[in-house]
Amino acid sequence: MDHRLLEIVACPVCNGKLYFNKEKQELICKSDALAYPVRDGIPVLLESEARSVTLDETN
């Protein structure tokens, strides 16, 4: 995934920074404990598409 893209993406819920999980291809918001999918290199920043993650997974 393009690193520049990572710098501009923010959580649509809290507007916070997202962390990219390479293994799972997800963008994770630690504040909301939500993981947004990345499909074909494009982050899907929709709360309805996000899944809840446990705090363990955000590390």
By CB under 5 A, is residue 16 in contact with Zn ion? yes
By CB under 5 A, is residue 26 in contact with Zn ion? no
The vertex-47 CA angle with 58 and 13, nearest 5°, equals 75
1, 10, 13, 33: which one binds Zn ion (CB under 5 A): 13
15: Cβ–Cβ under 8 A, 6 or more apart, which residues?
none
32, 36, 38, 53: which one binds Zn ion (CB under 5 A): 32
Q: Is the CB of residue 26 less than 8 Å from the CB of residue 37?
A: yes
Q: Which residues bind Zn ion (CB under 5 A)?
A: 11, 13-14, 16, 29, 31-32
